[in-house]
Amino acid sequence: MKSLKSHIAETLYGNAITTAVRIAMGAVFLLSGVLSSLDPAAFGAAVARYGLVPAMLVPYAAILIPSVEVVIGLCLIMGYRTRAAALLGTVLLATFIAAMVYALSAGKSFDCGCFDVKRFGIEFDETIGPKVIARNALFIAALTLVFRARRHVLSLENYRDRLHLTNLS
């Protein structure tokens, strides 16, 4: 029976757990990006609320952020450019956390605009605060695991490497 240390080492190297985390994080980013893309103006208003992006640049941020999330999500789900996608996702989440901390320190309180599910009648409290910040920190930890992994099962990169090895032999 494997020891806990051995299980952890396997997970850090890359196993089914790492793959599940990768695909789950991909789904999170894809969902967030798609929901934000449904109403660019509403997402732009949410971005403007943080008070960090100059008003002139808000439309560009409202277009770029969801599309980056969608591409990161697809890359993670498919297991393509995985490490880059994990790194970019980490940077994005760290930026969101910094923006929330800034808004909280200014005494603001509003919906973070992370998952716009209210349009479907789903009540989901995403007011900026410690819970949302902790959730994003957890996502960063998950992406760090994905970034560190050397092997990604069920991924395009794994398939491409196996194909390359088959061709060599």
Partner 1 sequence: MNEGWRLIARDCAAIVVVAIVGGVALNLLHPRGYALMKKEGPVGGQIVFIGLDEARIKHQSPAVRFIDAREPEEFAAGRIPGAVNIPAVQGAVPRFDDEASPLGPATEVVLYCDGPACGAAEKLAGRIIDAGYRRHVYILRDGYPGWTAAGLPREQGDTR
- Binders of partner 1 among residues 8 to 47 (CB under 8 A) are 37, 39-42, 44-45, 47
Taking the CB of residue 111, how many other CB atoms lie within 10 A of it? 16
Among 63, 104, 153, 156, binds partner 1 (CB under 8 A): 63
Residue indicated by tokens 């934000």:
36
Residue 95 CB, nearest distance to partner 1 (Å)?
Answer: 14
- CA–CA distance, 85 with 89 (Å, rounded to integer): 6
Nearer to partner 1, 45 or 154 (CB): 45
12, 24, 68, 104: which one binds partner 1 (CB under 8 A): 68
Residue 155 has which token pair?
A: 């991924």
| 53 binding partner 1? (CB under 8 A) | yes
Q: Could you give the 3-state DSSP secondary structure of residue 111?
A: strand
What's the burial of 123, exposed, middle or buried (CB within 10 Å: 0-12/13-18/19+)? exposed
Identify which range of 8-16, 76-84, 148-156, 158-166 contacts partner 1 by CB under 8 A: 76-84
DSSP-based three-state secondary structure for 141: helix
Distances, alpha carbon 94 to alpha carbons 39, 47, 78, 102, 158, in Å: 24, 15, 23, 12, 28
| Residues 107-146 contacting partner 1, CB under 8 A | 108-111
| 152 binds partner 1 per the rule CB under 8 A | no
Site residues (CB under 8 A) for partner 1? 37, 39-42, 44-45, 47-49, 51-55, 58-60, 62-64, 66-68, 70-72, 75, 81, 83-85, 87-88, 106, 108-111
